Structure 1
Amino acid sequence: MFPEETASILTKTVLVPTSGIFKDDNPKHELNADTEAFCNALNCIQNLSSAGDNTRKVLRDCENLIDSLVYYIRRTVDDKNADDK
């Protein structure tokens, strides 16, 4: 299924490393952090979510997707970078 594969790839290669959620487990994620790539991946996820209920369920079930987004938002607010993209 296309949305499932896309969500998984974007989550594993962009959202999780850039969010910093597992930075203690994998310090190389900090080297891969790219805010612009994160925003672009998030836009793709947003577009996928408009495809319907089944796709939104796939997104909710995608491992670490929601956790990485929540972590990124909390980190951004804590760092007072709320004006960032």
Structure 2
Amino acid sequence: MDKGITAEEYRRFRALLRRMRLEAGLTQVDVAERLDEPQSFVSKYESGERRLDVIELRRVAEALGTTLVAAVERLVHELEHSPADAEKD
């Protein structure tokens, strides 16, 4: 099983973070400003060039207008449904 940054589960996590940002109506620049980070920080975690630790994920979730718990719950829901199931929804 691939456990690297390109693993399918991590790809789905990155896609979720991007989708959550878009649902919040935010650009990468908006999120970066809320985090007091450069836009490249957001770009790098969304593209998989860098991983987020749990403390960073908490900050990102809050910048997106949600909580760490809610973000993790969404991720668990995403991962419990196979990609084939997601296509059916």
TM-score of the two chains, using structure 1 as the length reference: 0.31
TM-score of the two chains, using structure 2 as the length reference: 0.30
